[in-house]
Structure 1
C-alpha cells in the first residue's frame, strides 16, 4: 500500500493513523518533498480525471487564468500540491481522498 500526500495535510495524517491502527502501514510519498513521477500522475489522471485537481487549494487560487486552463498533467507536474489528497494505492486499485467510502473499502 502506498499513500501519496503531504506530511502537513490533516486528512493525510488521519488516513495514515487509521490505516496504521488497522495494521495497514502504508509507504508514504510526500508529493512536495519526494515529488510524484509523471507516469504516476498520468495513472491518477486516467483514474480520477479532473477530480484529481484540488480547486480549493491556495496553490490553485494563486494561479493565473491561463495557468488554470492549461493541461492538467503539466499543472500537476509543476505544482504537485494541486493534487487532491491523499491518493492511496492498495491491492492494485487507486482511491482518492479519505471519505467514508474510501475508509469502508480500506478499513473493512
Structure 2
C-alpha cells in the first residue's frame, strides 16, 4: 500500500452483487470505499488508482467532479448532493491491509489486498 497518493483497487461482493472497491492512505491511516460515485454510481478513477484531487485533499470523481472527504467519504463539493461514499471496514496490520468480514460484504478479488 503506497504511503500516500495512489490507491489500490479490489473487488467485493455486496449483497450478492460484484462491486469495485478501493483503499487509500490519508493522514497515515487506510480507508476503504466502494468505487462508486454517489452521484451516478460510476467508478471514481479514470486512471487506475488515481483517487485524489491535484492537492491530495479530497477523493475526486473524475467524471463529474464530486469531491469526498478521504477519512469519512462524506460529500464536500460537487454533484453528489450531500450523499457520501460507502465506507468499507478495512484495517492495516504489519503493513498489509485487510477487509474485515461482514455478513453482506466479502472479498472477491484482492488485487493487492491480502
When the two structures are superposed, what TM-score results if normalisation uses the length of structure 1? 0.32
Question: Could you say which structure has the higher strand fraction?
Answer: 2
Larger relative contact order (C-alpha < 8 A, sep ≥ 6)?
1
Please identify the structure whose Cα radius of gyration is greater: 1
- The structure with the largest helix share of the pair is 1
